Copies of this chain bind each other. A is one copy, B any other.
Amino acid sequence: MPTAKKETLSKHFGTWYRKVLIDAGIADYRYPIKGCGVWMPYGFKIRKYGLQILRDLLDSTGHEEALFPLLIPETSLEKEAAHVKSFEAECFWITRGGLNTLDVKLALRPTSETVITPMLKLWIRSHKDLPLKLYQVVNVFRYETKTTRPLIRVREVSTFKEAHTSHATFEESEAQIREATEVYKRFFDALGVPYVISRRPEWDKFAGAVYSDGFDTVLPDGRTLQIGTVHNLGQNFSKAFDVTYEAEGGKREHIWQTCYGISERWLAAVFGVHGDDNGVVLPPKIAPIQAVIIPIPHKEKGEKITETCIKTAKKLEDEACMRVKADLREELTPGSKFFDWELKGVPVRIEIGPRDFERKEAIVVRRDTFEKTSVKLDELVEYLQALMEKMSKEMREKALKWLHEHIHSAKSLAEVKTFLNKRAGIVEVSWCGETDCGLKMEQEINGKVLGVLQNVKEKVSGNCVVCGKKAQNIVRVAVAY
């Protein structure tokens, strides 16, 4: 069985990535402002189908979609002390409206806690208004000074799904964190993107949060990518904005909040994790075209083959509910069509040539493995429905296996360094839990502490790799994007 090559991809991920995004018609960052890019029509559709999965998951768990303003007065941003401290140096600031200088300067939202919380103050009166679970899908902005990279490190994050929930008690907010984590797991599972979840260290938690959990995956170059975060905000923002509710019994209490976000990095992860030397490989669920049908030209039978292609496309659309395209362009050879659709990651290619036509068959080629199978035309609907499921499952398993192969365990900082120098992925080490030690570790390994593994107390043993004291945690470290 032929297998897909990942050679270029792993060695020259950055070059491959930028090129494939443009060539496949996904996203183009050659815009005159650094870190700002365009979702091209094909990429826009991938994004749309992916967002639909996320929206369905949120809607079915009682979240409601809303849309809040982009602009934040400096006076609002300042209200939560830790929050403004972290974000003010990263915001784009509007100081002029038309030809006037503004009295209060306005930030482009880097995230929306300080936009949403003042509105909650207007809407929430009693415990009957709780829980309130809102989300929006919007663009957010960071004045990024480092090197930018499409969808990964940008100035305009074009696609930020941020959820903001309000609760009557801390316990309910904790239950919400569990629900959010479950929603995100199911989202990444649907995309076949594997992840680890770590509790971010104190110095890397969201500004204004009580604690933050992060989802990370490993890209082909061995660096980790944060693809989702879940935060318990406690009462930090509700106290800063004085948002209270009337509890049963009449007492006014501050609400408890959580927030969790996923940016367009999930798309970067999909392209990176599943891609190969020939282009992107799309999980069937989010592929704008799930199967492309290509006629093999033939002098006598050409017309009838084309007809069969059109009929087959129609049948698959109607009976298998698939998104199908018959590529009948006459000016292109089958080979150049194969090249096009492989680049764009269409999950299945269906070829119909003269011999297949005679036999009432088609050749089905899987994009992920290049495996070829002859299938009877009248069995195609069932075959492809099963294949879509199979591919989703196998792509997920393959990616998960690859991630597991890139998680290592180390007993010393030297060992960690060896792993990270060869970009081997994530390394797990024992840690005392002290911030000083953590920061020292980051400096020594020239990498990042992703955070602490949860619910593994029984596995903690040995000593901190930095200070040698008794370990309290297992912590993940990596070279991160």
Which positions in A face B, CB cutoff 8 Å? 28, 30-33, 36-41, 44-45, 47-48, 64-71, 73, 75-76, 88-100, 105-106, 108, 115, 118-119, 122-123, 134, 139, 143, 145, 155-156, 158
Q: List 25 A-B contacts (CB under 8 A).
A: A28-B122, A30-B122, A32-B73, A32-B76, A33-B69, A33-B73, A33-B106, A36-B69, A37-B69, A38-B66, A38-B68, A38-B69, A41-B64, A41-B66, A44-B64, A69-B158, A70-B139, A71-B155, A71-B156, A88-B99, A89-B99, A91-B97, A93-B96, A98-B145, A100-B143
Contacts of A30 in B (CB 8 A): 119, 122
Give me the 7 closest cross-chain CB pairs, A-B, nearest first. A97-B143, A41-B64, A39-B67, A36-B69, A93-B96, A98-B143, A89-B98
Nearest-neighbour CB distance to chain B for A112, whole angstroms, equals 11
Copies of this chain, whole number = 2
How far does the alpha carbon of A64 sit from the alpha carbon of B158 in the complex, in Å? 18
User: Are A28 and B119 closer than 8 Å at their CB atoms?
Assistant: yes
Best-buried of A45, A66, A134 by chain B (most CB within 10 Å): A66
Contacts of A155 in B (CB 8 A): 71
User: Are B95 and A91 closer than 8 Å at their CB atoms?
Assistant: no
Contacts of A95 in B (CB 8 A): 93-96
Contacts of A67 in B (CB 8 A): 38-39, 44, 47, 158
How far does the alpha carbon of A105 sit from the alpha carbon of B96 in the complex, in Å? 10
User: Are B108 and A94 closer than 8 Å at their CB atoms?
Assistant: yes
Nearest-neighbour CB distance to chain B for A410, whole angstroms, equals 36
Nearest-neighbour CB distance to chain B for A190, whole angstroms, equals 22
Nearest-neighbour CB distance to chain B for A151, whole angstroms, equals 12
Contacts of A91 in B (CB 8 A): 97-98
Nearest-neighbour CB distance to chain B for A336, whole angstroms, equals 15
Nearest-neighbour CB distance to chain B for A79, whole angstroms, equals 11
User: Are B66 and A40 closer than 8 Å at their CB atoms?
Assistant: yes
User: Are A41 and B75 closer than 8 Å at their CB atoms?
Assistant: no
Chain B: CB-nearest residue to A29: B69
Contacts of A134 in B (CB 8 A): 41
Nearest-neighbour CB distance to chain B for A178, whole angstroms, equals 23
How far does the alpha carbon of A105 sit from the alpha carbon of B94 in the complex, in Å? 10
Nearest-neighbour CB distance to chain B for A42, whole angstroms, equals 9
Nearest-neighbour CB distance to chain B for A393, whole angstroms, equals 30
How far does the alpha carbon of A67 sit from the alpha carbon of B70 in the complex, in Å? 17
Chain B: CB-nearest residue to A76: B32
User: Are A66 and B92 closer than 8 Å at their CB atoms?
Assistant: no
Contacts of A90 in B (CB 8 A): 98
Nearest-neighbour CB distance to chain B for A233, whole angstroms, equals 19
Best-buried of A67, A90, A118, A122 by chain B (most CB within 10 Å): A67
How far does the alpha carbon of A32 sit from the alpha carbon of B69 in the complex, in Å? 10
How far does the alpha carbon of A39 sit from the alpha carbon of B31 in the complex, in Å? 30
Nearest-neighbour CB distance to chain B for A37, whole angstroms, equals 7
How far does the alpha carbon of A440 sit from the alpha carbon of B91 in the complex, in Å? 47
How far does the alpha carbon of A307 sit from the alpha carbon of B44 in the complex, in Å? 44
How far does the alpha carbon of A61 sit from the alpha carbon of B403 in the complex, in Å? 44
Contacts of A99 in B (CB 8 A): 88-89
Contacts of A65 in B (CB 8 A): 41, 44-45, 48
How far does the alpha carbon of A36 sit from the alpha carbon of B73 in the complex, in Å? 11
Chain B: CB-nearest residue to A87: B98
How far does the alpha carbon of A146 sit from the alpha carbon of B137 in the complex, in Å? 30
Contacts of A97 in B (CB 8 A): 91-93, 143
User: Are A75 and B32 closer than 8 Å at their CB atoms?
Assistant: yes
Nearest-neighbour CB distance to chain B for A55, whole angstroms, equals 10
Contacts of A88 in B (CB 8 A): 98-99
Q: Which of B32, B100, B118, B145 contacts A118 (CB 8 A)?
A: B32
How far does the alpha carbon of A394 sit from the alpha carbon of B108 in the complex, in Å? 44
User: Are B118 and A92 closer than 8 Å at their CB atoms?
Assistant: no
Nearest-neighbour CB distance to chain B for A28, whole angstroms, equals 7
Nearest-neighbour CB distance to chain B for A414, whole angstroms, equals 37
